């Protein structure tokens, strides 16, 4: 950085800088104390207020950003005035926004009633005097004032020099300010792997290194171990080969807040083997549909793989039993989500009573003494989270080997909820819903027939490996599939209204009288 540099690994209590108004003298003083005499956050706030809401991974779309708070700032590569080497600055920043409509406190929202809602984001900034043409799409802007005054700041992940530096940090474990880089002792990570950023839409960012490793960077972070690190690590220790084992990762130690215990570290990124040549289940299913082929062999093998992963997680991590209080709470939470979705999407209204019946049936079984095991699960399982490697045959033939990836769970749910033991059938319901989506998007002439055969094959494969057929617990499966379909209706109505008919078809099926 210039003559008034940030301290390497600066780590501070959050400092708020409101947007659209000049900072108060107190805010200016705090910013200077935490980010150099000219105030790093004050100078970056106008740029981030424009850039951050445009990012695919920004969770607060549709609500204005009212301010920012700096959690930590760390120079991974210092920039010097007049130098030719780009600088790399790692930031954890809270974006303050009004609460979303219908927000309920007490569910892990991370802020107190009456305070601004905020999410913490991981941002990596490059700094250069000027951007070369290939980096033009990465531009964020030129700060006025602050340590980066007059420099060009940009999205660092689009700069191969800076993403190469990230890999080197992971190869050489250690600490840098609040950041801690960890490598599995058995991992031999080669240097000089050419990086490329994955452009597919996702809620995080990923960099592939030489078709050998993939680094997943979590953008919206919170205290606690991310399941996408915790679960693959635990599975690797059981010898489960269905999930790529983490080779390295990094995390940040958050500042203490008040007199209470220091929060758990934030998981920031995980480096895992890249399954070169693999194809995801979503594209394989669409290829099979386009060729008017069958997908049942592939679905059966995928059910087998899912069961293997569930069994390994049950061995590696604590399990529990859902008894009457937990089952009634689960059914009540599903009912509440249905009522909330129906209030937002009128198309659900005619089916509310029948859909509530699925949850009432589940609660009645709990009341009668039925119990179910609960364990750690994937949390967001669908065809896009399954990769097939080694299949050179016709799409959907079932050859090759299935692996499961992306164990983060649904990013919109609080981290504590995603780490809670749940019935494995929740994962199964997610995959069954994915088959419905594939049949509809693939424009099968009889989509429910294709999906029905595929769903049956998947459940049969799961039963072969686990010894328990999810269809033998119809009330539990129907309640979870209904809950997932209701979530999909709300999502599609808000983000992809042209797709609303897909989950609504499932809603009509699930609400129909049962034999």
| pLDDT tens figures, 391-414 | 654 445 557 899 999 999 988 788
Q: Report how far residue 376's alpha carbon sits from residue 365's, in angstroms, rounded to the nearest whole number.
A: 23
The CATH number of residue 366's host domain is: 3.90.1200.10
**Average pLDDT rounded to a whole number, residues 474-502:** 95
| pLDDT top residue among 38 and 148 | 148
Q: Are 428 and 459 in contact (CB under 8 A)?
A: yes
Most confident of 9-18, 33-42, 94-103, 251-260: 251-260
Domain's final residue, options 239, 273, 307: 273
Residue-level pLDDT at 166: 96
Question: Looking at the structure, do residues 265 and 289 belong to the same domain, yes or no?
Answer: no
Assigned domain for 174 exists: no
| pLDDT tens figures, 217-238 | 999 999 999 999 999 999 999 9
Q: Is the pLDDT of residue 13 over 90?
A: no
Residue 62's pLDDT band, with cuts at 50, 70 and 90, is: confident
Q: Report how far residue 207's alpha carbon sits from residue 215's, in angstroms, rounded to the nearest whole number.
A: 5
Residue-level pLDDT at 1: 37
Question: Looking at the structure, do residues 323 and 436 belong to the same domain, yes or no?
Answer: yes
Assigned domain for 94 exists: yes
Q: Is the pLDDT of residue 16 over 60?
A: no
Return the bridge partners of 180, or none.
175, 251
| pLDDT top residue among 259 and 466 | 466
Q: Is 386 helix (H, G, I), strand (E, B) or coil?
A: strand
**Average pLDDT rounded to a whole number, residues 201-227:** 93
Residue 19's pLDDT band, with cuts at 50, 70 and 90, is: very low
In percent, how much of the chain has pLDDT > 70? 87
Question: Looking at the structure, do residues 132 and 261 belong to the same domain, yes or no?
Answer: no
Question: Looking at the structure, do residues 137 and 48 belong to the same domain, yes or no?
Answer: yes
Residue-level pLDDT at 398: 56
Question: Looking at the structure, do residues 473 and 502 belong to the same domain, yes or no?
Answer: yes
Question: Looking at the structure, do residues 265 and 285 belong to the same domain, yes or no?
Answer: no
Question: Looking at the structure, do residues 252 and 147 belong to the same domain, yes or no?
Answer: no
Residue-level pLDDT at 26: 32
Residue 333: how many CB atoms within 10 A of its CB?
13
Q: Report how far residue 159's alpha carbon sits from residue 506's, in angstroms, rounded to the nearest whole number.
A: 44
Q: Is the pLDDT of residue 14 over 50?
A: no
Mean residue pLDDT across the chain = 88
Q: Which domain holds residue 72?
A: 11-100+111-156
Assigned domain for 6 exists: no
Assigned domain for 321 exists: yes
**Average pLDDT rounded to a whole number, residues 489-513:** 94
| pLDDT tens figures, 21-32 | 433 333 333 333
Question: Looking at the structure, do residues 382 and 251 belong to the same domain, yes or no?
Answer: no
Question: Looking at the structure, do residues 223 and 347 belong to the same domain, yes or no?
Answer: no
Q: Report how far residue 139's alpha carbon sits from residue 158's, in angstroms, rounded to the nearest whole number.
A: 10
| pLDDT top residue among 190 and 515 | 190
What kind and span of H or E run contains 483?
helix 474-495
Residue 9's pLDDT band, with cuts at 50, 70 and 90, is: very low
Q: Report how far residue 411's alpha carbon sits from residue 491's, in angstroms, rounded to the nearest whole number.
A: 13
Q: Report how far residue 424's alpha carbon sits from residue 203's, in angstroms, rounded to the nearest whole number.
A: 24
Question: Looking at the structure, do residues 15 and 145 belong to the same domain, yes or no?
Answer: yes
Domains in the chain: how many in total? Answer: 3
Residue 268's pLDDT band, with cuts at 50, 70 and 90, is: very high
Domain's final residue, options 121, 156, 191: 156
Residue-level pLDDT at 114: 47
Least confident of 184-198, 292-306, 352-366, 391-405: 391-405
Q: Report how far residue 34's alpha carbon sits from residue 69's, in angstroms, rounded to the nearest whole number.
A: 11
| pLDDT tens figures, 432-451 | 999 999 999 998 989 899 99
Q: What are the C-alpha distances in Å from 191 to residues 41, 201, 409?
A: 34, 28, 31
Domain's final residue, options 120, 141, 156: 156
Residue-level pLDDT at 262: 80
Residue 15's pLDDT band, with cuts at 50, 70 and 90, is: very low
Q: Report how far residue 105's alpha carbon sits from residue 463's, in angstroms, rounded to the nearest whole number.
A: 40
How much of the chain is in helix, strand and coil states, percent to nearest 5? 40, 20, 40
Conformational region of residue 161, where left means phi above 0, alpha means psi within -120 to 50, and beta covers everything else: alpha
Residue-level pLDDT at 375: 98
Assigned domain for 152 exists: yes
The tokens describing 300, both together, are 């059966």
Residue 471's pLDDT band, with cuts at 50, 70 and 90, is: very high
Question: Looking at the structure, do residues 137 and 197 belong to the same domain, yes or no?
Answer: no
Q: Are 216 and 270 in contact (CB under 8 A)?
A: yes
Assigned domain for 308 exists: yes
- Which of 28, 1, 30 is CA-nearest to residue 13? 30
Question: Looking at the structure, do residues 256 and 283 belong to the same domain, yes or no?
Answer: no
Q: Which distant-in-sequence residues (6+ apart) come within 8 Å of 371 by Cβ?
A: 321, 322, 323, 327
Residue 156: how many CB atoms within 10 A of its CB?
26
Residue-level pLDDT at 280: 95
Residue-level pLDDT at 84: 77
Helix ranges restricted to H, 240-348 = 281-290, 296-316, 324-344
Q: Is the pLDDT of residue 3 over 50?
A: no
Assigned domain for 426 exists: yes
**Average pLDDT rounded to a whole number, residues 112-124:** 75
Assigned domain for 448 exists: yes
């Amino acid at each position: 950085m210039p003559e008034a540099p940030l301290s390497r690994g600066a780590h501070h209590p959050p400092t708020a800088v409101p947007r659209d108004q000049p900072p108060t003298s107190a805010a200016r003083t705090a910013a200077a104390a935490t980010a150099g005499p000219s105030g790093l956050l004050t100078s970056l706030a106008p740029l981030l207020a424009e850039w951050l809401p445009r990012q695919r991974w920004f969770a607060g779309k549709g609500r204005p950003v009212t301010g920012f708070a700096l959690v930590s700032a760390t120079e991974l590569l210092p920039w010097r005035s007049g130098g030719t080497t780009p600088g790399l600055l790692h930031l954890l920043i809270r974006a303050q926004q009004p609460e979303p409509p219908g927000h309920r406190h007490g569910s892990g929202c991370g802020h107190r009633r009456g305070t601004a809602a905020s999410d913490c984001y991981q941002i990596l900034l490059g700094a250069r005097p000027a951007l070369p043409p290939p980096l033009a799409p990465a531009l964020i802007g030129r700060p006025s004032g602050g340590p980066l005054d007059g420099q060009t700041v940009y999205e660092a992940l689009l700069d191969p020099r800076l993403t190469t530096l990230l890999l080197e940090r992971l190869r050489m474990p250690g600490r840098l300010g609040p950041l801690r880089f960890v490598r599995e002792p058995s991992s031999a990570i080669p240097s000089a792997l050419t990086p490329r950023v994955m452009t597919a839409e996702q809620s995080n960012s990923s960099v592939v290194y030489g078709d050998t490793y993939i680094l997943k960077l979590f953008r919206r972070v919170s205290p606690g171990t991310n399941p996408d690190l915790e679960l693959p690590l635990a599975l690797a220790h059981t010898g489960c080969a269905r999930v790529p084992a983490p080779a390295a990762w990094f995390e940040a130690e958050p500042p203490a807040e008040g007199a209470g215990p220091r929060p758990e570290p934030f998981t920031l990124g995980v480096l895992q083997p890249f399954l070169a040549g693999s194809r995801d289940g979503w594209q394989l299913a669409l290829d099979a549909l386009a060729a008017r082929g069958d997908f049942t062999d592939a679905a059966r093998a995928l059910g087998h793989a899912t069961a293997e992963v569930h069994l390994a997680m049950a061995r590696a991590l604590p399990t529990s039993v859902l008894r009457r209080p937990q089952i009634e709470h689960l059914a009540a939470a599903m009912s509440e989500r249905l009522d909330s979705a129906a209030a937002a999407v009128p198309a659900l209204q005619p089916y509310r009573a029948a859909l509530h019946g699925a949850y009432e049936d589940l609660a009645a079984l709990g009341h009668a003494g039925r119990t179910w095991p609960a364990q750690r699960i994937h949390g967001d399982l669908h065809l896009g989270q399954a990769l097939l490697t080694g299949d050179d045959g016709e799409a959907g033939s079932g050859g090759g080997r299935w692996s499961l990836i992306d164990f983060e769970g649904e990013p919109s749910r609080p981290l504590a909820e995603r780490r809670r033991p749940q019935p494995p059938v929740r994962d199964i319901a997610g995959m069954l819903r994915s088959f419905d989506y594939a049949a509809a998007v693939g424009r099968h002439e009889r989509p429910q027939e294709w999906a029905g055969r595929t769903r049956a094959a998947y459940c049969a494969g799961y039963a072969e490996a686990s010894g328990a057929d999810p269809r033998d617990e119809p009330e539990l499966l129907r309640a979870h599939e209904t809950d997932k379909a209701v979530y999909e209706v709300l999502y599609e109505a808000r983000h992809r209204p042209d797709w609303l008919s897909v989950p609504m078809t499932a809603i009509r099926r699930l609400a129909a009288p049962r034999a």
